[in-house]
Structure 1
């Protein structure tokens, strides 16, 4: 028996729901760290050879569940992995099972859970309020950094446009993935991909570099990369950005204009 409660599961990183592919996408067992194919997850995977039937129940009220029917794992792609927060807010890898209803009359589409078959890269307006959060702890620090990043992006976007630059964002859905990636800024005039961070710590700069490397491999022609920061980072971090392996530069506000580490 499998149980799902979308109203409460989100706080533990469980995002279950029907997909446009006709399957119910069911998050595996494990509230902390990367989920593994052990215990309950392994029991779901091996339910056919163990001659066990899968019955899915959804919570409708406290102590009350609705039987959604009997399911079996999809024969072509029984499961996949994706990213989701754990109970403490740290991003981890989770197992998503694709449960196909045994009763073919069962149909309901609540969430578009179907992975794309080929990579999608498209321009979106900067004003769209989509962010890719990299939460590392549940304290107020990530929320404060989010606000600083949003302010930095808004101000720098305004500055670039005042200089006649065409500024957009990129929305990227890698093949086989569910969730889109959103870049912070893309200067189409100079072909520069920009990632903003609300702090100049080593951790933030490392993260920004990793995100830029991830985004850039999907964009053609290959863009230059830059980090938008609230102030000048210390010299060793600038050296990291300028290293041959990274080949990036930093941007930060300086009065009414912006300074860069390549000046």
Structure 2
């Protein structure tokens, strides 16, 4: 505990630094005048930028490290949290609300993991961030949020409605505007979804959380009736198709899929069809009111 403070005390951040040292900017403030590392969390502001500080299901506070550009490293302020015990420093938490902070008390580092977030001010660029799991040494006096998803040792797979507006990007970039190609992709998915339903199929999407990850993955479609996992792309260019293959292989590690398919707006050129079939992936695309399916075994049908 910080001398002269009790958990729940409110004061100006500048007063904290005047008394205990530490950097006045940023979220982590190792002190040169006291054996402490200060950290500041602003969950409301952070979530607008894809940062999620909060409690996990084990009662640990997950705190995103510092660094607004590029992949975060275990250096500078992050290193001081990592090594706080070895360096003989206590780890002291504050909740920030503007220039006012509330003292949360003393914490200790349990472990850490890496996850994705977008760069500050750039919702289109993803990077890797470090998340420290911290144990409070006493009751935290103020309410802090729970994590949207707590990392767990085993994968989780659930079927969710197709209409649910969930994307992997939306989880880490909630302030990001949809691109036109994403709307075209959504339209293609909607059309094929309707077609499958007319055939009597049960169709949804898969929400997958890999082991020890806090970011969910979402398939575009999951045909429960046939066990087919489907990824859609708005164009038939090579880069889009290669991305679809990577996504299907990633999702397919956790889904009990009998087949994989790429849903496209038109027939891809021959080499790309060969590439998809080489990986064992079906190709589905519309032709007028019909849907054409190209399979690796040559059984092509609507």
Report the TM-score when normalising by structure 2: 0.75
1:160-206: CA deviations, max 9, x gaps? 11122222222222222223322111122222110011222222211
Between Structure 1 and Structure 2, whose CA radius of gyration is higher? Answer: 2
Q: Which residue of 1 aligns with 2:264?
A: 229
Question: Structure 2: 5+ residue runs without aligned partners?
Answer: 1-37
Match of 2:169 among 133, 149, 162: 133
1:200-257: CA deviations, max 9, x gaps? 222221111111001112122x4211111122223332222122xx111222222111
Cα distance in 2 for residues equivalent to 1:232 and 1:172:
29
Q: Which residue of 2 aligns with 1:103?
A: 138
Q: How far has the Cα of 1:25 moved from its partner?
A: 0.8
Cα distance in 2 for residues equivalent to 1:198 and 1:65:
47
Describe the SS at the equivalent of 2:128: strand
Cα distance in 2 for residues equivalent to 1:13 and 1:45:
22
Match of 1:212 among 245, 248, 251: 248
Describe the SS at the equivalent of 2:179: helix
Q: Which residue of 2 aligns with 1:68?
A: 104
Cα distance in 2 for residues equivalent to 1:247 and 1:56:
51
- 1:8 aligns to 2:41 (yes or no): no
Cα distance in 1 for residues equivalent to 2:45 and 2:100:
14
1:135-167: CA deviations, max 9, x gaps? 9x9xx9962122112111111010011122222
CA RMSD of aligned residues (A): 2.5
Q: Which residue of 2 aligns with 1:163?
A: 199
**Contact map agreement 1:20 1:109 (CA 8 A) in 2:** no
Q: Which residue of 2 aligns with 1:202?
A: 238
Match of 1:192 among 228, 246, 264: 228
Describe the SS at the equivalent of 1:210: helix
Structure 1 residues 31 and 234: CA distance shift in structure 2, 3 A: farther
Structure 1 residues 13 and 169: CA distance shift in structure 2, 3 A: closer
Q: Which residue of 2 aligns with 1:93?
A: 128
**Contact map agreement 1:18 1:108 (CA 8 A) in 2:** no
Residues matched between the structures, number: 253
Cα distance in 1 for residues equivalent to 2:212 and 2:157:
14
Q: Which residue of 1 aligns with 2:286?
A: 253
Cα distance in 1 for residues equivalent to 2:46 and 2:214:
19
Describe the SS at the equivalent of 1:161: helix
Question: Structure 1: 5+ residue runs without aligned partners?
Answer: none
Cα distance in 1 for residues equivalent to 2:77 and 2:44:
22
Cα distance in 2 for residues equivalent to 1:238 and 1:119:
31
Cα distance in 1 for residues equivalent to 2:214 and 2:115:
8
